[in-house]
Amino acid sequence: MGIGDGAEQAATETRGLRKIIHIDMDAFYASVEQRDHPELRGKPVAVGGSRERGVVAAASYEARAFGVHSAMPSITAKRKCPDLIFVKPRFEAYKAISLQIREIFAEYTPIIEPLSLDEAYLDVTENLKGISVATQIAEEIRARVRAETELTASAGVSYNKFLAKVASDHRKPDGLFVITPKMGPSFVETLPVWKFHGIGRATARKQTRGLIGRVGARPHLPQRHFDRCRSAHLHRRRRYQ
């Protein structure tokens, strides 16, 4: 965790900033399959087609250890991990669990912005529980998700959506991290460029060749980089709506 509850509350209340939580389920599709099929637990699992033209939709953490990741061609994934187990996706099951998780969110705030079946932003500045500390809400939600679905979620807490999303990825899997207003600017300066939403590793490699490996190395990025980032992010959001 980035800071203590008291420091978080004081920092946000003093400046009148929003309290944003980003919840991201850990390897969601693959974790559902491992939950529902105990024989898959502890093994490298890929959700997707195993044929030559198949694509990995999600990979368990055991598979990720071999370099397997979502959007990777199945033939490449199998080459990286010969023992990889392919499972056909069950999107109706994933959707049902996602709705179950959103019902938990709705008990804390009506301001929910789903990004896909497995992640969402929550604005808990004025929440339904009257809890003043966003970190406490994030902890409660993670505990309830685990208890009610037998799945784990990572959470990021900050004063805007960008940093909340970055924070949720910082302690994955099954982690919680907080980025305060005081931490924000210096934290962003240390970020690799590929951490920005919409900028993948391929684009980041090109930028690194242009000496933009980390944000702090080039504080005044050309506007076209942010336009491209925003366009890609919106495109991904439309795919899941």
DSSP code string of 103-123: HHHHTT-S-EEEEETTEEEEE
Coil/strand/helix, residue 189: helix
CB burial of residue 228 (10 Å; 0-12, 13-18, 19+): middle
pLDDT, one tens digit per residue, over 163-204 is 999 999 999 999 999 999 999 988 888 888 777 766 666 665
At CA 57, angle to CA 92 and CA 190, rounded to 5? 120
Selected catalytic residue, list 62, 119, 148, 150: 119
pLDDT value of position 196:
73
pLDDT value of position 195:
72
Q: Residue type at 97?
A: I
Long-range residue pairs from 96-99, CB within 8 A, at least 24 positions apart, any chain: 97/32, 97/149, 97/151
pLDDT, one tens digit per residue, over 88-111 is 999 999 999 999 999 999 999 999
pLDDT value of position 229:
45
DSSP state of 84: P
CB 214 within 8 A of CB 191: yes
CA distances from 220 to 107, 152, 210, 224, 232 (A): 41, 38, 13, 11, 20
Strand partners, 156: 22, 177
Given a cut of 50, whether residue 114 has pLDDT beyond it is yes
**Phi, psi values for residue 17, rounded to 5°:** -90, 165
CB 21 within 8 A of CB 137: yes
Given a cut of 70, whether residue 224 has pLDDT beyond it is no
Compute the average pLDDT of residues 15-33.
95
Helix (H) or strand (E) holding 204: helix 201-209
Q: Which residues of 153-171 are buried (b: 16+ CB within 10 A; e: fewer)?
A: bbbbbbbebbbbbbbbebe
Residue 119 annotated in active site = yes
Coil/strand/helix, residue 214: strand
* Per-residue pLDDT band at 73 (split at 50, 70, 90): very high
Sketch out the chain's domains with CATH numbers.
5-27+91-178 (3.30.70.270), 29-87 (3.40.1170.60), 190-239 (no CATH)
CA distances from 192 to 24, 27, 32, 78 (A): 20, 22, 31, 29
